[in-house]
Amino acid sequence: MPESLSPILIAAAVVGGYLLGSIPFGLIAAKLGGQGDIRNIGSGNIGATNVLRTGRKDLAALTLLGDGGKGAVAVLLAWLATRDKGVDAQATLTAIAASAAFLGHLFPVWLKFKGGKGVATFFGTLLAAAWPVGLAAGATWIAMALLFRMSSLAALTAAALAPLYVVLVFDRPYPIAAMALFMAVLIYIRHKDNISRLLKGQEPRIGGKKDKEAA
């Protein structure tokens, strides 16, 4: 841990990042849009994919932007707080804040720690912390989605490749690689049901028949 990072600054990144990440934009958007509690619709997930099941593309888009944006804001605040402390300190604190925001989305205190699967927040934090990596991961998602028409498979592939992009392609600092790997592992854990369906050939395709149990 860089000596220029004080315990107070680290604690602020952890707490602030978590609280930002725990804002349930999907739940808020659905309620304000007159769709009720999104947890009672479809898979019960609070992410953009499930919000889209209400038939409101505008609410799903707002959820996507909100979930991605809160991760980006956490990174930006950490970056601003360390702009005069050196590259290592900046990379470390932004990775801490991003990871905390990601955990906040997955386990929000306001919803009894039952949150989303983190894909939008994953992309938001990556784009803010290391935009070339975020763009590469996003391009991976798009390519896989177009090829296989499965959102979960696209997300899992992008998550798996993101740490490799950090280290092997763009040579970003170690804390960013650790952040990407941390988020990728949690994405796989949160997508365990999707992985099971993928292995059985039962995962629904984008634009196909909606499975109530799909994430």
Residue 2 maps to a domain: no
Q: What is the pLDDT of residue 208?
A: 59
Q: Which of 117, 96, 89, 114 is nearest to 184 (CA)?
A: 117
Q: Quick one: tokens of 44?
A: 């019960």
Contact 123, 138 (CB under 8 A): yes
Residue 196 maps to a domain: yes
Number of domains in the chain: 1
Residue 66 maps to a domain: yes
- Cα–Cα distance, 24 to 15 (Å, whole number): 16
Contact 148, 194 (CB under 8 A): no
Q: What is the pLDDT of residue 207?
A: 67
Q: What is the pLDDT of residue 146?
A: 96
Q: What is the pLDDT of residue 53?
A: 86
Contact 108, 22 (CB under 8 A): yes
Residue 72 maps to a domain: yes
Alpha helices in the chain (DSSP H): 7-21, 25-32, 48-51, 57-81, 87-106, 119-129, 131-148, 151-164, 174-190, 192-200
> Which residue has 């619709």 as its token pair?
41
Q: What is the pLDDT of residue 215?
A: 35
Residue 212 maps to a domain: no
* Crossing angle (nearest 10°) for helices 87-106 and 119-129: 170
Tens of pLDDT along the chain (215 residues) come to 777 889 999 999 999 999 999 999 999 999 999 999 999 988 888 998 889 888 899 999 999 999 999 999 999 999 999 999 999 999 999 999 999 999 999 999 999 999 999 999 999 999 999 999 999 999 999 999 999 999 999 999 999 999 999 999 999 999 999 999 999 999 999 999 999 999 999 998 876 554 443 33
Residue 205 maps to a domain: no
Contact 115, 102 (CB under 8 A): no
Could you tell me the residue range of the domain that residue 111 belongs to?
7-200
Residue 210 maps to a domain: no
Residue 135 maps to a domain: yes
